[in-house]
Amino acid sequence: MSKRMILMLVACAVVFGLVFGLKGFLNFGMNQFFDNMPMPPATITATEAKSDEWVLALDAVGTVRAVNGVEVTTQVAGEVEKIHFSSGDDVKEGAALVSLDARTDSAQLKALEAAARLAEQEYERFQTLFKQGSISRSELDRRQSERDQALATANAQRERVAQKTIRAPFSGKLGIRQVDLGQYLNPGNAVVTLQQLNPIYVNFSLPERDQSLLQPGLAVRASLSAMPDDVFTGEISAIEPGVDSATRNFNVQATFRNDEQKLRPGMFARISIRLADSEQVVVVPRTAIQFAPYGNSVYVITEKEEETAEEGEGAEEEKEPTLIVKRRFVKTGSERGDLVAVIDGLKAGERVATSGLLKLRNDSTVIINNEIEPSAEADPRPDNS
């Protein structure tokens, strides 16, 4: 029994060994097949890196601001008697906007003016008496003081009556009316907004390193998200002499003509300041750059070196060159639209992949198909219709 048991155990061990060995051999062969299996070529788009001359420019974002912009308020209390404007009107400086009930104040003004005239007449009579020596100098001075006080009180009341008519402090465009007829207003209540729209300011900020490059009168271009097809031209009118210690930026103000009043206060504006100098750069489309925290890179396309096959009497068989890609780290610079300047790592004339970067790796075989190319414009104008 023991001998049979031993033979059975040996036979089982041999069978299981053959089974596991065959399985291991098959797994090894399968892994080798997949490891050495050639990857199918990846279809990409490609373009050549180009040399270009870029005029040096400073880019920033800013906010449109009115030269003068206020919320017109009342200085005195009163009931709205008449409204002289409609929402959205253009008004001139000094134009009446709202009249408050001034009947009581006007009546008081008449009484004070009468008292002032009486004080003036008495002062003139006392002047005559003083010249005749009938009164003292102190009596004349007291009458003069009473005359001056009466005139000042009347003038103060006259100004109060004038304040019952709220006027435009400057020429501009009105906003939406915020009062109604018969409404009682307290001092400081808003009546309407008033904005002076032509000319108009655009305020923006730049890093402190650029302060020496700017000076008043330098041309500025602005574009708005609301009107992408329009470009507005102005000039720098003021530069903040100090630098913000928190952001290390300094503020700049540019003035723009706004005859058509397309620029409105509060709008977001993209600013471009063209400087006199220019530089030679190598540019590629933005889609050709693979941005990463550890460095930006491009895939450069080269031809794979292959041995030529011989046929018959040694004639070489003509084949299409096999294209492969090599990943190369580059240093990027400024950007304009869809283009990026490459400062180091790439030469003009080298071909780079512009799409399909995620499926590429070093020595990947590629096929170039440029039927649909990514946008590569320095000043792109997308169709938003």
Q: Which domains does the chain have, with CATH numbers?
A: 42-54+279-306+320-368 (2.40.420.20), 58-66+197-278 (2.40.30.170), 75-98+168-188 (no CATH), 102-163 (1.10.287)
Omega into 228 within 30° of 0, i.e. cis?
no
60: region left, alpha or beta (phi > 0 left; psi from -120 to 50 alpha):
beta
User: Cα Rg for the chain, rounded, in angstroms?
Assistant: 43
The pair of structure tokens assigned to 181 is 């007829």
pLDDT for the residue 318:
58
Of 116, 109, 124, the closest CA to residue 148 belongs to: 116
Q: How far apart are CA 274 and CA 236, in angstroms?
A: 12
Q: How far apart are CA 295 and CA 167, in angstroms?
A: 62
Q: How far apart are CA 138 and CA 156, in angstroms?
A: 27
136: region left, alpha or beta (phi > 0 left; psi from -120 to 50 alpha):
beta
pLDDT for the residue 1:
56
CB 219 within 8 A of CB 238: no
pLDDT for the residue 34:
61
pLDDT for the residue 311:
47
pLDDT for the residue 203:
92
pLDDT for the residue 306:
62
133: region left, alpha or beta (phi > 0 left; psi from -120 to 50 alpha):
left
CB 170 within 8 A of CB 76: no
3-state secondary structure of 156: helix
- Identify the residue whose tokens are 């890179």: 297
Range list of β-strands (E), 84-141: 90-91, 96-100
3-state secondary structure of 247: coil
pLDDT for the residue 385:
43
Can you spell out the DSSP letters for 348-367? TT-EEE-S-GGG--TT-EEE
One digit per residue, the tens of pLDDT, for the chain of length 385 reads: 577 777 777 778 888 788 888 888 778 777 776 666 566 778 888 888 888 877 677 888 888 998 888 888 888 888 888 888 888 888 888 888 888 888 887 888 888 888 888 888 888 887 887 787 777 888 878 888 888 888 888 888 888 888 888 888 888 888 888 888 888 888 888 888 888 888 899 999 988 888 888 888 888 888 888 887 888 888 888 888 888 888 888 999 999 988 888 888 888 888 888 776 667 888 888 888 888 888 889 899 888 776 554 444 444 555 677 888 889 999 988 787 788 888 888 888 889 988 888 888 888 888 888 887 777 676 666 665 4
Q: How far apart are CA 127 and CA 309, in angstroms?
A: 131
CB 357 within 8 A of CB 329: no
| Distance (Å) of CA 186 to CA 96, 99, 108 | 18, 14, 20
Q: Which helix H or strand E contains 160, and what residues bound it?
A: helix 137-163
Of 352, 354, 331, the closest CA to residue 341 belongs to: 331
Task: Give, as one character, the DSSP assignment of residue 317.
Answer: P
What's the first-to-final CA gap in the chain, in angstroms? 93
355: region left, alpha or beta (phi > 0 left; psi from -120 to 50 alpha):
beta
pLDDT for the residue 312:
47
Find all residues with CB under 8 Å of 112, minimum gap 6, and list them.
Answer: 150, 153, 154, 157
Find all residues with CB under 8 Å of 70, minimum gap 6, and list them.
Answer: 169, 193, 194
The pair of structure tokens assigned to 162 is 């004038």
pLDDT for the residue 380:
65
Q: How far apart are CA 76 and CA 359, in angstroms?
A: 73
Of 310, 285, 307, 314, the closest CA to residue 298 belongs to: 285
